[in-house]
Chains A and B, each alone.
Chain A
Amino acid sequence: MKGIIFAFMGGACITLQGVANSRISQDIGIWQAATITQFTGFILALAILLFVRDGKSQGFKQVKPLYLIGGAFGAVIIFSEVTAIHQIGVTFTISALLIAQLCLTILIDMNGWFGVVKQKMKLPQFAGIGMMIAGVLILKF
């Protein structure tokens, strides 16, 4: 039960983050909003890191440099999501976002890109994506 609540709150917070960024962007601008929210998040995460010390800072050296800059995508993700929310609303934005996210994940897994373990996808994964796209079409009619 506790796990369900955590997972549910996690999903709620992801959407809330997009909505809050949209609201803040209306006043101070998108890049300003992206800069400020990620800065405060960074400071808190750093404080927690120094407190719990769960990380092996040595570990960063073992990671391919390309993977270290994944966080920079955050700027473009926030820009795209906020602009989309302003244009097509939260529900449609999140639906399309999730479909693209799962589709690309499938593609990466099937081809073993970025050194992930190659996997065969089965019917349920394709049926699931198909249902999600059907759901988006229903949303629009």
Chain B
Amino acid sequence: MFLGLLLALAAGSLVSMQNIFNTKVNEHTGSWATTTLVLGMGFVASLTIGLLFEGKQMFTLQNMQPWYWISGLIGVGVVICLVQGTKLLGPTYAISIVLTAQLAFALLWDSLGWLGLEQVPFTINKLLGVLVIVGGIVVFKLGGRRESQKSKEASVLGLE
């Protein structure tokens, strides 16, 4: 439980740094050049770490299902949606909606236990907790303009 929490916090910190780095790359290249680089780097890093820890085991894919091969395409869908959403709504509103949707779907997934994940029963507390978090996101994003809002928001635009 504690380890899980720690890893989630580590992942969030890395996402924040990655977003800033990606924005820097994006300024000079463009969103598809950036996305290609980011996923390519992630691929090389995963393969390298995997080979270090698991050696030849890395190439034995047990119970491989055909759809596993194409699930990586979701990442490209993310980029299309974020780029279009930001273009149409501006970064502040777009990112607020993105974060809210992330949480809403997380709750939905836990409650339904789709894709063979362990089902985490839905409770009113869970809904209440998520609503308060979403409220926090709205206050964070829409309450009080910060200086140079634009450049700030660009850094939150993730290209995962």
Residues in chain A within 8 A of chain B (CB atoms): 2-4, 6-17, 19-24, 26-29, 31-42, 44-46, 48-49, 52, 54-57, 59-60, 62-64, 66-81, 83-105, 108-109, 114-117, 119-125, 127-141
Chain B residues with CB under 8 A of A38: 39-40, 42-43, 46, 72, 75
Complex contact B14–A76 (CB within 8 A) = yes
Complex contact A84–B25 (CB within 8 A) = no
Q: Taking A14-B98, A122-B144 as contacts, is the C-beta distance between A135 and B132 under 8 angstroms? A: yes
Number of A-B contacts (CB under 8 A): 461
Complex contact B45–A72 (CB within 8 A) = yes
Q: Which 7 A-B pairs have the closest CB atoms?
A: A11-B101, A128-B140, A71-B41, A55-B33, A74-B42, A3-B88, A70-B21
Interface of B is mostly: helix
Interface of A is mostly: helix
Residues in chain B within 8 A of chain A (CB atoms): 1, 3-5, 7-22, 24-25, 28-47, 49-50, 53-54, 57-58, 61-65, 68-82, 84-89, 93-95, 97-107, 109-110, 114-118, 120, 125-126, 128-144, 146-148, 151-152, 155-156, 158, 160
| A–B complex contacts, Cβ < 8 Å, 30 sampled | A3-B88, A6-B81, A6-B82, A7-B86, A8-B101, A10-B81, A10-B85, A11-B101, A13-B81, A15-B105, A21-B71, A36-B72, A37-B71, A41-B39, A42-B42, A49-B33, A63-B29, A67-B24, A70-B25, A84-B5, A89-B118, A90-B120, A99-B9, A116-B151, A123-B143, A127-B136, A127-B140, A129-B140, A137-B129, A141-B125
